[in-house]
Amino acid sequence: MTQVTLEGFPERVRIVDVGPRDGLQAWPVPVPTDVKIEMINGLIAAGVPQLEVTSFVAPRAVPNMADAAEVMAAIDRSRGAELTALVPNARGAARAIEAGVDAMVVFLSASESHNQANVNCARDVSLAAAAEIARMGQEAGVAVYGAIATAFGCPFEGDVPVSDILDVARAYAGSGITKITLGDTTGMATPRLVQERCRALAAEVPEADVALHFHNTRGVGLACAYAGLLEGITRYEASVAGIGGCPFAPGATGNACTEDLVYMLHESGVETGIELDALIGVAQRTEAALGQKLPGQVMKAGPRLRQYRRDEVRSSSGSRA
């Protein structure tokens, strides 16, 4: 049967798996370096085209990212996946460039109070740091992307005005950063807010190439991604097995799940270049390695047309059919 793309959807999207960074940064116990490397190499082998593999932050602030350079050095780069890393300042950027990242991600919050909680400085200071990192990236030939946290709401301030998001996006663009991610830090996004912010950016900062990053805190991560598809957005960040959450935001549970998102996209006729069964395998191995049940759904149920033998399933009488 020929697959037909849902009306209004793009034919292909780019998935960025942020599990190795956003998924593991707040994990309550140390995650061994070899577990991270196996996860990353598995994701690359499954066809994930871009991964946020680590962050070059102070180890005392985020201990699970202390092995950033070691992780970068061990990744299988033969398949050409784009490897990005989060960097908070010029020192982190210098380390990331030395480690050989393909791109650096700068970040700040649209909300002033969350920016203070997250990086302990004012938003203007973060914007100045982003401009400096953009300059370093240009000199080194390393791409720089910009993330806007709390783009759909702040746990301290509530609603975040669209004007604040536009201000950050314009500042990024003025520094040469045009690949911009709207981050749903604590799962406050709704389809209506996605539509509103995507349309505002398209109208006011047309040079912005927008990506969307959702958490599934309130169970609407995929619904928000669906809304983004209808707005023509073709880049999405998600986390294998749905792991993750910001350590500096109350109530921030896991990210939207990569394999759940890929399943929805493929069943909607949208190409990703990712092999779903292989991705499910990575999610299952990650769950086993971390020793805790993870929130991904497709990793438990399998694809829609997965079939079973009758003798594998109990009947209503309690015996196997």
Active site amino acids? 246
225, 4 Cβ separation under 8 angstroms: no
CB burial of 51-68 (b: ≥16 within 10 Å; e: otherwise) equals bbbbbbbeeeebebbbbb
Distance CA 239, CA 15 (A): 10
Distance CA 245, CA 154 (A): 14
Nearest by Cα to 258 from 6, 8, 20, 1? 20
254, 243 Cβ separation under 8 angstroms: yes
Neighbouring C-beta atoms of residue 120, cutoff 10 Å = 11
Distance CA 206, CA 211 (A): 14
Interior angle at CA 212, CA 281 and CA 181, nearest 5: 115
Neighbouring C-beta atoms of residue 13, cutoff 10 Å = 21
Residue located via tokens 């109070």: 113
Distance CA 234, CA 14 (A): 6
CB burial of 239-252 (b: ≥16 within 10 Å; e: otherwise) equals bbbbbbbbebbeeb
180, 216 Cβ separation under 8 angstroms: no
Residue type, 288: A
